[in-house]
Amino acid sequence: MEALVVFFLLLIFGYTIGSINEKNHYKSIEEREKKTLPLPVVNMKKVEDILKPGKKIASAELVTGSVVVSIDYFKRILASLKNLVAGNVRSYETLIDRGRREAILRMKEAADSPDIIMNLRIETSTIGRSANRNSIGSIEVLAYGTAIKYQY
Amino acid sequence: MKYTPKTLKNNVNVTPGSPLRELIKLLAWVVGGLVALYIILGLVVSMMAPHISLKVETGMGRLFNNHICVNEIKKESKRLQKLVDGFYPFLTSDDRRLNYKVFVTQNSQVNAMALPGGTIVVFSGLLNKVSSQSELTFILAHELGHFHNRDHLKGLGRALVALVLSVTILGENSSATNFIFNSIVQVEMKFSRNQEKAADLYAVGLLKKRYGNAKGALEFMKKLVREEKRWKLFYYFSSHPHPAYRLKYIRNAL
């Protein structure tokens, strides 16, 4: 019985705090996305693809941005229930979305005012999967690319 | 081509909808599915129970006896054994195949159990409550009723199903499983109350056959009603029906 009470308390706690955190995170992501909007990020590999005729490259350097995001207790339970019946694990979608957008933002913010970031790559890895059975359910998203400055 | 930056209007990567509603829907599916599975498996076990051979049953009994039958009070066991032996001529030939053995054990719980193989375990806590021999005969006849309906095997089977189910899902998340498991227990308790009623009615019939009356059943039930102080709703969560209800159907059977 006590276990059940603790379970529901954790569920309510996870839901309220988790939703507040998620809302705030999305707000911050949207604001910063607007701010960094003028800097284009593309996944083209070749310099010829991004270079306008007659222009030359002044510098090219690696920029990275990475983030570790965790899921709340409520969403984890939701996902574990979904595991039983199969289907779209909706509760993890925001986690992945936030992770990806945050990583790209951090990468953009890390770059020293380039003209464009090319060859964008995104990688994810699961953290704490093998640590124990009740895995902490968090992911790392790493975004990296080449920051290009044109010669004027 | 000129680069014109713009933000995303809609986020296609996140499905809209309330996660709370999703949780309720999922819980309903999972709990419903498990309860259905449990009931079906329980029915299969109940159907199988009458066909378990005597040899298998005695084998299972030995397994149990080693674990449950400790701290025997030999004197009391002997006294109750005589009462049970007295029932033999009144049992059906099918029921007579089992060799009923009474085992009184030092335990404060007010309970008695019917174990596979014909062992009737009576806790000393129950003996302390009983004041007359006729009440004692009712309790023993009630346990014989469980053997007659083969509840001792059915209950075992369902407990096994519940155990297997819970352990399988425990691998996923223990708290969520606890919730699901508790829902299953509710269903089991309902089954159990029906079995207790059947055993009560069998006991009344047996007492009438042996003594011509069922004084013990009435006495014992009246005592339970008198001592019952718990809330009636509590019995929704209990393995036995409410004493007042038991007294009523015992009266009706007389």
pLDDT tens digits, B123-161: 888 888 887 888 888 888 888 888 888 877 776 666 666
| Sole residue written with tokens 């084998």 | B59
Å from B178 to nearest chain A CA? 7
d(CA A78, CA B233): 32
Å from B83 to nearest chain A CA? 40
Q: Out of A37, A78, A97, whose CB is closest to B13?
A: A97
Interchain contact, B14 vs A40, CB within 8 Å: no
Å from A101 to nearest chain B CA? 11
User: Half-sphere exposure of A53 toward its Cβ, with a 13 Å CA cutoff?
Assistant: 1
Q: Take residue A17 and report the two structure tokens written for it.
A: 């705090």
Q: Is B15 on the interface with A (CB under 8 A)?
A: yes
User: Half-sphere exposure of B239 toward its Cβ, with a 13 Å CA cutoff?
Assistant: 7
Q: In chain B, pLDDT over 90 holds for what percent of residues?
A: 0
Q: What is the pLDDT of residue B66?
A: 66
A98: closest CA among A26, A17, A32?
A26
d(CA B158, CA B190): 13
The vertex-B89 CA angle with B86 and B93, nearest 5°, equals 130
Interface ipTM > 0.90: no
Q: What is the pLDDT of residue B172?
A: 45
Full set of structural domains in chain A with CATH = 2-151 (3.30.110.70)
Helix axes B174-211, B133-148, angle to 10 degrees: 120
Q: Give me the total of CB pairs closer than 8 Å, taking one residue from chain A and one from chain B.
A: 71
Tens digits of per-residue pLDDT, B79-130? Answer: 888 888 888 888 887 777 788 888 888 877 777 877 777 888 888 888 888 8
d(CA B195, CA B154): 10
d(CA A20, CA A18): 6
Strand (E) or helix (H) holding A119:
strand A116-127
Helix (H, G, I), strand (E, B) or coil at A126: strand
Q: Kindly report which listed range (A40-44, B166-170, B203-207) carries the lowest average pLDDT score.
A: B166-170
B200: closest CA among B223, B189, B216?
B216
Interchain contact, B22 vs A84, CB within 8 Å: no
d(CA B13, CA B16): 9
Å from A62 to nearest chain B CA? 22
d(CA A136, CA A126): 10
Q: What is the pLDDT of residue B171?
A: 47
B47-53 contacts at long range (C-beta below 8 A, 24 or more positions apart): B48/B157, B49/B150, B49/B153, B49/B154, B49/B157, B50/B150, B52/B153
A35: closest CA among A88, A113, A148?
A113
Radius of gyration of chain A (CA): 20
Give residue limits of the domains in chain B.
20-253
Å from B39 to nearest chain A CA? 19
Q: What is the pLDDT of residue B237?
A: 56
Q: What is the pLDDT of residue A63?
A: 96
Interchain contact, A80 vs B30, CB within 8 Å: no
**Which bin fits B118, alpha (ψ -120 to 50), beta or left (φ > 0)?**
left
The pLDDT of B14-29, averaged and rounded, is: 87
Q: Is A3 on the interface with B (CB under 8 A)?
A: yes
Asked if residue B40 lies in contact with residue A77, where contact means CB atoms within 8 angstroms, the answer is: no
Q: Is B36 on the interface with A (CB under 8 A)?
A: no
Most confidently modeled range among B151-155, B196-200, B231-235 = B196-200
C-alpha distances out from residue B249 to A4, A144, B160, B218, Å: 36, 77, 31, 10
Q: Is A54 on the interface with B (CB under 8 A)?
A: no
User: What average pLDDT does the structure give for chain B?
Assistant: 76
B3: closest CA among A143, A50, A1, A78?
A50
Mode of pairing for the β-strands spanning B101-105 and B119-123: parallel
Residues of B in contact with A33 (CB under 8 A): 7
Radius of gyration of chain B (CA): 25
pLDDT: is B30 or A64 the higher one?
Answer: A64
Residues of A in contact with B7 (CB under 8 A): 30, 33-34, 37
User: What average pLDDT does the structure give for chain A?
Assistant: 88
Helix (H, G, I), strand (E, B) or coil at B72: strand
Q: Is A77 on the interface with B (CB under 8 A)?
A: yes
Interchain contact, B176 vs A82, CB within 8 Å: no
The vertex-A119 CA angle with A118 and A123, nearest 5°, equals 130
